[in-house]
Amino acid sequence: MEDAADAVVPLRPGFDVTFRGFDRDQVLEHLEMLETQLELVTIDRNEATRLNSDLRALYDQTREELTATQQRLRHLETSDTGLPELSQRLREMLETTEEELQTLREQARHEAETIRGAAETEAEQLVEQAENTVGELHEQCERVLDEVERRHERLRGERNRQLSELRTREQRMRRAVRDAYKSLMDSARQQAAELTERTRQECARREAETERYRQRVFEEIEHNRSELETLRNQIMTALDTATNRIGFSVFALGEGENVRTEEPGTASSELDEAPAGGAWLPSPRKNLRVTTVMGTPPQPSGSSAGTESEASPESGTVPAEDERHEDSSGGSHGNGRKPHGTDTPDPIGQS
């Protein structure tokens, strides 16, 4: 009986274990299969009951026919037909029929009892199997529910434990991040302060260097300006002295030409070349060297028949002999340098 029940409904179906219990689709499919088998068992039981009812009806019909036949035989036996041989024959046939009917009735009863017993047994087995199946299903459902509850509790505990671990890890990470941020901020502040201090020191150093450089440049400018001013004064003094000497030389030359009447051709030529302003200039000489004082280079001296070289305050050229005479008389330049061409002879002495 247990083998048949196991064959119809397995006690331990192979459900796949999922994260939260058995697979819901497989459980529903198994329950639908059990419901289908239970419906089939119910149909078989109803069919066996109907067959038993049909057998009972057939048995009752056969019994009624047998009773009717017996009544007809009794009626024939009691009737006066005048044929005793026929009555004897009929009696034998009736006995034979009764024996056959009794045999058939016994067979029918035996078959009916057998069929009814088998049907009842099968129905009882089916009902018992159905009850066992229902009980097993209830037990399986209870076990599944218990397993689901246990899994739910275990998963809930696992989830709570994981949440606690996550919270602890989060707090630890927050503290680590906060400490790292604080350390980085302190280091950044320290570096910023150091950089600010170095920048301030560098700015102060550069400002001091700039101030020293500015003071040095200013001093150099002042020194150069003083030297230039001294040089300009010396140049102006030299120009004034040269102008005076040139005027004196021109005047002396003019006086000398007036006295020398024995050279009329030369005097007339020099008078013709005199400027309109009445200034007298000497004729150029070969051995006369002219030194540049203010930027304009002197014209080269030619031969006695060449171009004339003029010395005037506008051109800035003076005879080197005059400057040497000034230096020997006590004059000095601001830079301590002596002018070139000091070996030029004095035109006054030559004249």
pLDDT value of residue 171: 92
In this model, does residue 11 exceed pLDDT 60?
no
What is the reported pLDDT for 121? 80
pLDDT value for 34: 83
DSSP characters over 47-78:
HHHHHHHHHHHHHHHHHHHHHHHHHHHHHHHH
79: confidence class by pLDDT, cuts 50, 70, 90: low
341 Rama class: left (phi>0) / alpha (psi -120 to 50) / beta: left
pLDDT 10s digits, 298-338: 444 433 333 333 334 444 444 444 444 444 444 444 444 44
**Element housing 45 (H / E):** helix 24-78
Chain segment 23-55, per-residue pLDDT in tens: 777 778 888 888 888 888 888 888 888 888 888
pLDDT at position 81 over 60: no
The pLDDT tens digits for 181-200 are 999 999 999 999 999 999 99
Could you tell me which residues come within 8 angstroms of residue 318 by beta carbon, excluding any fewer than 6 positions away?
Answer: 238, 239, 242, 245, 246, 290, 291, 293, 311
- Cα(281)–Cα(272) distance, rounded to whole angstroms? 12
Task: Report the C-alpha gap between 242 and 350 in whole angstroms.
Answer: 18
Output the pLDDT for position 259. Answer: 56
Q: Which of 135-149, 153-167, 172-186 has the lowest mean pLDDT?
A: 135-149
Looking at residue 230, what is its pLDDT? 92
315: left (phi over 0), alpha (psi -120 to 50) or beta: alpha
Segment 222-231 shows an average pLDDT of 91
The H or E element containing residue 17 is: strand 17-18
Does position 233 have pLDDT exceeding 90, yes or no?
yes
Tens digits of per-residue pLDDT, 85-143? Answer: 556 666 677 777 778 778 877 877 787 778 777 777 877 777 777 777 777 777 877 88
Determine the average pLDDT of the residues in 10-15.
Answer: 51
CA–CA separation, 76 and 80 (whole Å)? 8
DSSP classification of residue 22: E
Report how far residue 314's alpha carbon sits from residue 273's, in angstroms, rounded to the nearest whole number.
19
70 versus 172: the higher-pLDDT residue is 172
Backbone φ and ψ of 295, nearest 5°:
85, -35
Closest of 3, 41, 33, 1 to residue 15, by C-alpha? 33
**Enclosing H/E stretch for 21:** strand 21-22
* pLDDT above 70: percentage of residues in the chain: 62
Q: Quick one: CA dihedral 14, 21, 151, 145, positive or negative?
A: negative
How many angstroms separate the CA atoms of 133 and 136, rounded? Answer: 5
Average pLDDT over residues 66-76: 76
As a dihedral over the C-alpha atoms of residue 280, residue 284, residue 285, residue 288, rounded to 10 degrees, the angle is 90
Confidence of residue 176 (pLDDT cuts 50, 70, 90): very high
CA-CA distance, 296 to 316, in Å (whole number)? Answer: 7
Q: How far apart are CA 86 and CA 75, in angstroms?
A: 14
**Residue carrying structure tokens 């196991």:** 6
Name the residue with higher pLDDT: 148 or 312.
148
Q: What H or E segment, with its residue span, contains residue 170?
A: helix 84-259
Residue 220 pLDDT exceeds 80: yes
pLDDT in tens, 249-300: 888 887 776 655 444 444 444 444 444 444 444 444 444 444 444 444 444 4
DSSP assignment, residue 319?
A: E
Per-residue tokens: 192:
């910023």
Which pair of structure tokens corresponds to residue 296? 């304009």
pLDDT at 38: 84
Give 18's DSSP letter: E
pLDDT range class, residue 344, cuts 50, 70, 90 = very low
Tokens matching residue 290: 């002219």
- Contact present, 49 and 130 (Cβ < 8 Å): no
Statement: residue 240 has pLDDT above 70: yes
